[in-house]
Amino acid sequence: MKLIEAYIYEVTRRLPEKLREDIALELRSTIEDMLPEHFSEDEVKEALLKLGDPARLAASYRDTPMHVIGPKVYDAYIWTMKMIVPWAILITILVHVVETIVLFSGEESILSVVIKSIGIIIANIIHVLIQTFFWVTIVFIFIERIGLAKSNGAITKYGTEWTPEQLKHVHVISKKKLIPRSEVIFGLAWTAIWIVLYFNADRLAGVYRSINGDGLQMVMPALNQSVLLSYLPIVLPIALLEIGLALFKWKERQWTMKLVTINAVMKVVSLIVFIVIASNPALINEAMIPYLANVLEINSSSVQNFTDWAVWTIIATIIVTVAIEIYDSYRKAKA
């Protein structure tokens, strides 16, 4: 008798309050119907085994679905996740990189800052992913249980049931022309990083020396921040255009001739601006050359030659990279 009570309890505790009494009564009379007049414990066990796992029995009495995200919204759910997750990761990385650069005081060595940052970024990404996963899932559980109670069809990423009309929004993209999402995201991250570097160059780029074995510290900025900032009216529009271009790439998802042209023009303009800024002799902090000459025990003109050589090597490398990138995008658009 105890087993029967326990079984009924195990079923009914999983059911809504208003159903419990009725189902308990029916279950009890059913179980008793299954048993002979004088029954043994083994016979009770046999009867209960026929009814099966109380959790499953309770589940078949309930109308609510036995899944969290059902087949109706699964597709929309996965699509939403795929859209949100890369952005969540990108923003997490950017926020931390920008914060670190802005707050960088030069007191700690760059290497230890970088190592520490990587640790913090990984921890933050895990945290953000858990949060994203949690909230998106919560929203979809609501959609599943409330929004879809009456509709029979599955919800697509457009938020409605599927119709052939939706095919008009589908871009068939050949794999050869595809611009990977990751490429766009890295492009945006790069834009953000160089903007921050631009505004903080005097605190980041310079001569670092180990003082009292205390790790590397900056003793002399390499660049003249006020000269650098005087180019702001050109640099800022370029930054904005670069962000705009990245968003355009995100939308288009493939290389077209139009996109290749815009991209090439953008790249060439930025390159020219970069060359103009880099070749301005006032850009290099004038105190640095005598300082380096003193430290390295060579004359100032050798140092000057060396910095010139370094600047032009960087420019040449960038020209080659830009040329390769433009050719590559052209090749993909033609494919």
Partner 1 sequence: MEPLMESFTTELRRGTLTLAVLSQLRTPQYGYSLVQRLEKAGVTIEQSTLYPLLRRLEKQELLTSNWDTTESRPRKYYVISEYGSDIYEQLKKEWETMTAELKTLLEGDENDETD
Distance (Å, rounded) from C-alpha 235 to C-alpha 227?
13
Least distance in Å: CB of 6 to partner 1?
17
Report the site for partner 1 in 56-115 (rule: CB under 8 A).
Answer: 56-57, 60-61
**Shortest Cβ distance from residue 56 to partner 1 (Å)?**
6
33 counts as binding partner 1 under rule CB under 8 A: yes
CA–CA gap between residue 241 and residue 173 (Å, rounded): 25
Q: Which is nearer to partner 1, 25 or 111 (CB)?
A: 25
Cα–Cα distance measured from residue 68 to residue 116, given in angstroms and rounded to the nearest whole number: 38
Whole-number minimum distance, CB 68 to partner 1, in Å?
21
Q: How many CB atoms lie within 10 A of CB 200?
A: 16
* 100 vs 93: CA distance, rounded Å: 11
Q: Give the helix ranges, DSSP H, for the chain.
A: 2-12, 17-34, 41-51, 54-61, 71-103, 110-142, 181-199, 201-204, 225-229, 232-252, 257-278, 288-296, 300-334
Of 4, 24, 34, 227, the one binding partner 1 by CB under 8 A: 34
Amino acid at 73: V
Residue number, 37 or 165, with CB nearest to partner 1 = 37
Nearer CB in complex with partner 1: 32/183: 32
Residue 131 binds to partner 1 (criterion: CB under 8 A): no
Cβ atoms of residues 193 and 97 within 8 Å = yes
End-to-end alpha carbon distance in the chain: 77
**Smaller CB separation from partner 1, 17 or 165:** 17
Q: Which helix (H) or strand (E) holds 219?
A: strand 216-221
Contact between 50 and partner 1 (CB under 8 A)?
yes
Which range of residues in 46-54, 67-75, 117-125, 190-198 is near partner 1 by CB under 8 A? 46-54
Could you tell me the smallest distance in angstroms from the CB atom of residue 13 to partner 1?
16
Instruction: Closer to partner 1 by CB, 15 or 243: give it.
Output: 15
Residue 67 Cβ, how far from partner 1 at the closest point, in Å? 17
Q: Which of 4, 14, 20, 51 binds partner 1 (CB under 8 A)?
A: 51
Query: With respect to partner 1, which residue has the nearer C-beta, 57 or 241?
Result: 57
Between the alpha carbon of residue 202 and those of residues 46, 57, 100, 237, 291, the distances in Å are: 83, 71, 15, 22, 16
Closest CA to 140 of 69, 64, 83: 69
Tokens found for residue 328: 């590559």
Give the residue with the Cβ less far from partner 1, 14 or 177: 14
Task: Fill in the per-residue mask, 1 to 30: x = in contact with partner 1 (CB under 8 A), - = not in contact.
Answer: ---------------------xx-xxx-xx
- What is the contact surface with partner 1 in residues (CB under 8 A)? 22-23, 25-27, 29-30, 32-34, 50-53, 56-57, 60-61
